[in-house]
Structure 1
């Protein structure tokens, strides 16, 4: 296996340069995917035969839930890299990704509550899926708070890495909660291994919206990481030259 790319990622300057080339492409992709997916889904997709137009909130709820869980898996992966290989850029990614993951979890909970009122007759129930998503939000808050509460950077990196790794056990609980327990929440809207139950004009915009949310996360992560890398490397010659160029 060629580890050259992996080792290059450990270089703040290399990451800053390559991410600057990637950003415009991800930004354009995000804008296109979100615009097409959300406009198509929210305005032009056919009504659901049971839920009517209230089902359209899935075009925000489902992508937010997907990204919220995926980001936490990324935090755990970054935590492992931080502890095993001592790669400082992994800690930067962990810190920069956590707030976005928290926001996506909040959006998923909020839209789920809005969806739940006409569907279940209540905004909230303490069932397994909703409760485990709420725990995910608290885990994000814990990671963010811990990273800011400890002044020593290395100690904070280790502590947040451990919390991210331990907390990842909640992700399979979220995913399989509708199968393991009797919950109000419906099963997965669509799976990669199965043919979607909904017609193409309903699930295609959902797929575009999901991809749009992921590319939006990528844009936000790269921008936050680039700023953090410049802040941490501010005493180096290349970072000072870049700061002068930007000022």
Structure 2
């Protein structure tokens, strides 16, 4: 093994194999699907039926059980897309490019969900569906970045060229993530500071924080399921002429 490979774990290079990646994702899918289903059901019932009303916002605050996880995940998905694209660009891993490509529509959907639920929450809280707040505006830019990646993937016929172009756009757009995260601290905005923190003391009661944490983890498990399903489909399409895909199709037919 070369000196360059010694410091990298074996599984990292195994990911370069479309067949190995396809099979390992297939083994992980059921576990993540079960975890997502259980956590989301528990989180929704706990948050909507058992969490107490908020002192000032009453029951309208309950939309955070959808809004906060979708906003978190929209940002995490973008970071994953950029990292996967960079790995594909540097190490020439086709599977990494496919992961990056699969992230874009999922992330765009999450950004739309975060913006929509934020608007629904904002109406009773601020008296308006939309304001050009720093947090909201930077979140809208995130959606446009996702749409730009999707458009580039559709417009460029060469898979290699599309992967390079979308990776460049993704890496440039990463600067927007800290802006989303810290905009409420850097500028005077209507959007409230973060009430949910993985580390540090939460700015909300444990009876509200606990079901929200369950929902966040459930959303991440659901994202993993969606990403693996899309990536597996991309692998099958890219490798449709390879012998192992043909064997797989014949096995399923038989």
> Given the alignment, which residue of 83, 101, 107 partners 1:101?
107
Q: Deviations over 1:155-176 (max 9, x none)?
A: 1110011111111110000000
CA RMSD of aligned residues (A): 0.9
Q: Give 1:3 shift.
A: 2.1
> Given the alignment, which residue of 205, 208, 219 partners 2:211?
205
Q: Deviations over 1:91-110 (max 9, x none)?
A: 10011111010000000000
Q: Deviations over 1:12-59 (max 9, x none)?
A: 000111111100000000000100011110221100011000000000
Q: Which is further off, 66-75 or 39-48?
A: 39-48
Structure 2 counterparts to residues 103-182 of structure 1, below 5 A: 103-182=109-188
2: CA distance, partners of 1:20 / 1:114: 37
Q: Give 1:196 shift.
A: 1.5
Q: With the length of structure 2 as denominator, give the TM-score of the two structures.
A: 0.95
- Quote the residue 2:37 is aligned against: 31
- Quote the residue 1:19 is aligned against: 25
User: How many pairs align?
Assistant: 247
- Quote the residue 2:91 is aligned against: 85
1: CA distance, partners of 2:95 / 2:113: 28
Q: Which is further off, 197-206 or 116-125?
A: 197-206
2: CA distance, partners of 1:210 / 1:191: 11
Runs of 4+ deviating beyond 4 Å: none
- Quote the residue 1:51 is aligned against: 57
Unaligned runs of 5+ in 1: none
Give SS of 1:235's match. Answer: coil
2: CA distance, partners of 1:80 / 1:156: 13
2: CA distance, partners of 1:126 / 1:137: 15
2: CA distance, partners of 1:243 / 1:42: 44
Q: Give 1:2 shift.
A: 4.4
Q: Give 1:245 shift.
A: 2.7
1: CA distance, partners of 2:171 / 2:145: 11
2: CA distance, partners of 1:203 / 1:64: 16
1: CA distance, partners of 2:131 / 2:250: 53
